Amino acid sequence: MNTATETIDLRLEGAAQRGARGWLARRRWSDWLYAVLVLVGAGVAYAQWGHAMDGYEKAILAGVAPALVALAWFWRPVQALTVGVAALSLLAIGLYQVDGRADLGRAEQVFALKYFLSSQSAILWMSVLFFMSTVFYWIGLLAPRGDTAEKLGSRMAWAGVVMALTGTMVRWYESHQIGPGIGHIPVSNLYEVFVLFAWLTAAYHLYYEDRYQTRRMGAFAMLIVSAAVGFLLWYTVVREAHQIQPLVPALQSWWMKLHVPANFIGYGTFAIAAMLAFAYLIKQSAGETRWYKLAPLWLLGIVLCFEPLVFRRGAAEQGAGYWFVYFGVSALIVGGIMAARRRIADRLPSLQVLDDVMYKAIAVGFAFFTIATVLGALWAAEAWGGYWSWDPKETWALIVWLNYAAWLHMRLIKGLRGTVAAWWALAGLAITTFAFLGVNMFLSGLHSYGAL
């Protein structure tokens, strides 16, 4: 046996031994400590609030604990995120207590609740942190030595996710203290799902930032998060949407707890893919001077600057000044990108990286959107007696699914890459946005309880 063959055999033997050690054997002590904390926490939650859970909620709690452990073992930053959110949420719950009972009036009396840890305060902090994160990511992308600014942007995005999850958990608790039958997981209206969309999208970006060891995608990824936060703030001020309301009968189902989060993982990842597609097109056309070759920039300008027209009904009644400011800021953003496109292109990751993340985002989003669609059909069968009724929301969900199914088919079977794939991903964002918001605004049907 020659030396080369012996070397190959030794490598194969080493790989077999490493495989024999198994996934569990490669865990650090911190991984096991985290697993213990999660399981103990789930047990305490069951002991404390199990009386308020139905059988489905108990099953979900039992399934979430090991799933959270597996996720945190796969991506270790989730460990610190979970511990931080749990600590802040329990602190908020403790501050609400008076003589062993919750008093929601303390949200305006206790300093920490009023300014930091009540659900509304935490979500407002989320909004501020995501805006600041976007600003620092852009400073880092444009500045000659922007590493420090990019790092600040990343840390603020993490802080925003922490505050969003804290606000969500505290809002869930608050809803149960208002009155019997009112408590519910906060994914039931546009206000709550925009919070869900914001932190899920930011978290997904942070995963790929860590995976590819580059923060330079953050400037584009966090733009869509900031746009969502901008809508959330308008919706809060004009419609007072932050007020916790009882569930309408159609939403009083345990299917909602599964269907809505799965849907918004899809929405968030599709949004990330579209923004990275936009970054891809900018990098590709950086040296171009012909106006018609700069169509991606003009397209973004039209979408950002004229989006207020979509909400003209609300702007005409209230908040017109807000949308005027929105228009001005959007125009400045587009003008800035146009002026600095060559520098932006030089600082962005390679076209291959952008294309790869775009593909993976769509693949993950498609998987979860498929799961959400199946769950929605099961929910419809229980609520309305049929799996599919061609309601406008259902029809547009099918259009979204077919769009990304075709994109992935062309990618995997025909090798779709580059400009066409990027344009298609951008078009997909427009389709998804209409399915998410446009149907609620302009069409009526069985899902009309989600109207804007």
Query: pLDDT-derived band of residue 164, with 50, 70 and 90 as boundaries?
Result: very high
Tokens of 397: 């969900």
Q: Residue 16's pLDDT is what?
A: 47
DSSP string, 57-122: HHHHHHHHHHHHHHHHHHSTHHHHHHHHHHHHHHHHHHHTEETTEE-GGGGGTSHHIIIIISHHHH
| 149 half-sphere exposure, CB direction, 13 A CA radius | 17
More confident residue, 298 or 147: 147
Q: Residue 201's pLDDT is what?
A: 96
Query: pLDDT-derived band of residue 109, with 50, 70 and 90 as boundaries?
Result: very high
pLDDT of 285 > 70? The answer is: yes
Q: What is the arithmetic mean of pLDDT over 31-47?
A: 92
More confident residue, 302 or 148: 148
Q: Which SS3 state, helix, strand or coil, does residue 159 take?
A: helix
Q: What is the arithmetic mean of pLDDT over 325-332?
A: 71
More confident residue, 437 or 147: 147
Query: pLDDT-derived band of residue 430, with 50, 70 and 90 as boundaries?
Result: confident
More confident residue, 358 or 54: 358
CA dihedral 96, 156, 212, 346 (to 10 degrees): 160
Q: Residue 79's pLDDT is what?
A: 95
Rounded mean pLDDT of the chain?
Answer: 84
**Torsions phi, psi for 348 (to 5 deg):** -70, 155
Q: What is the chain's percent helix, strand, coil content, to nearest 5?
A: 80, 0, 15
pLDDT of 57 > 80? The answer is: no
Classify burial at 75, counting beta carbons within 10 Å of its beta carbon; exposed 0-12, middle 13-18, buried 19 or more.
Answer: middle
Query: pLDDT-derived band of residue 288, with 50, 70 and 90 as boundaries?
Result: low
| 439 half-sphere exposure, CB direction, 13 A CA radius | 25
Q: Residue 304's pLDDT is what?
A: 56
Q: Which SS3 state, helix, strand or coil, does residue 217 take?
A: coil
Q: Residue 315's pLDDT is what?
A: 45
User: For residues 268 and 204, is the Cβ–Cβ distance under 8 A?
Assistant: yes
Q: The whole model's pTM is what?
A: 0.88
Distance (Å, whole) CA 197 – CA 203:
10
Q: Residue 306's pLDDT is what?
A: 54
| 47-51, 117-121, 346-350: least confidently modelled range | 47-51
Distance (Å, whole) CA 151 – CA 290:
35
Query: pLDDT-derived band of residue 400, with 50, 70 and 90 as boundaries?
Result: very high
Cα-based distances in Å from 117 to 277, 329, 341: 36, 30, 40
Q: What is the arithmetic mean of pLDDT over 397-411?
A: 95
Q: Residue 341's pLDDT is what?
A: 81
| 119-133, 142-156, 394-408, 435-449: least confidently modelled range | 435-449
Classify burial at 115, counting beta carbons within 10 Å of its beta carbon; exposed 0-12, middle 13-18, buried 19 or more.
Answer: exposed
When computed from its CA atoms, the radius of gyration of the chain, rounded to whole angstroms, is: 23
DSSP string, 171-187: HHHHHHHHSTTT---S-
Q: Residue 414's pLDDT is what?
A: 86
**Torsions phi, psi for 313 (to 5 deg):** -65, -50
pLDDT of 137 > 70? The answer is: yes
Tens digit of each residue's pLDDT (9 = 90 or more) over 62-91: 888 999 999 999 999 999 999 999 999 999
User: For residues 428 and 403, is the Cβ–Cβ distance under 8 A?
Assistant: yes
Percent of the chain with pLDDT over 90: 48
More confident residue, 417 or 248: 417
Q: What is the arithmetic mean of pLDDT over 83-112?
A: 93
Classify burial at 354, counting beta carbons within 10 Å of its beta carbon; exposed 0-12, middle 13-18, buried 19 or more.
Answer: buried
Q: Can you say whether residue 240 is alpha, beta or left, with left for phi > 0 and alpha for psi between -120 and 50 degrees?
A: left
Task: Pick the closest to residue 300 from 117, 430, 420 (CA basis).
Answer: 430
What is the residue whose two structure tokens read 């009540």? 118
Query: pLDDT-derived band of residue 209, with 50, 70 and 90 as boundaries?
Result: very high
Q: Residue 444's pLDDT is what?
A: 62
Most distant CA pair in the chain, distance: 85
pLDDT of 4 > 60? The answer is: no
Tens digit of each residue's pLDDT (9 = 90 or more) over 219-261: 999 999 998 998 888 888 877 778 888 887 777 787 888 888 9
More confident residue, 26 or 204: 204
Neighbours of 87 (CB within 10 A): 12
Query: pLDDT-derived band of residue 291, with 50, 70 and 90 as boundaries?
Result: low
Task: Pick the closest to residue 85 from 248, 5, 203, 182 (CA basis).
Answer: 203
Task: Pick the closest to residue 153 from 133, 128, 123 (CA basis).
Answer: 133
Compute the C-alpha angle 258/124/72, nearest 5°. 45
Cα-based distances in Å from 303 to 138, 237, 314, 322: 20, 23, 18, 17
More confident residue, 12 or 355: 355
Highest mean pLDDT among 107-121, 302-316, 433-447: 107-121
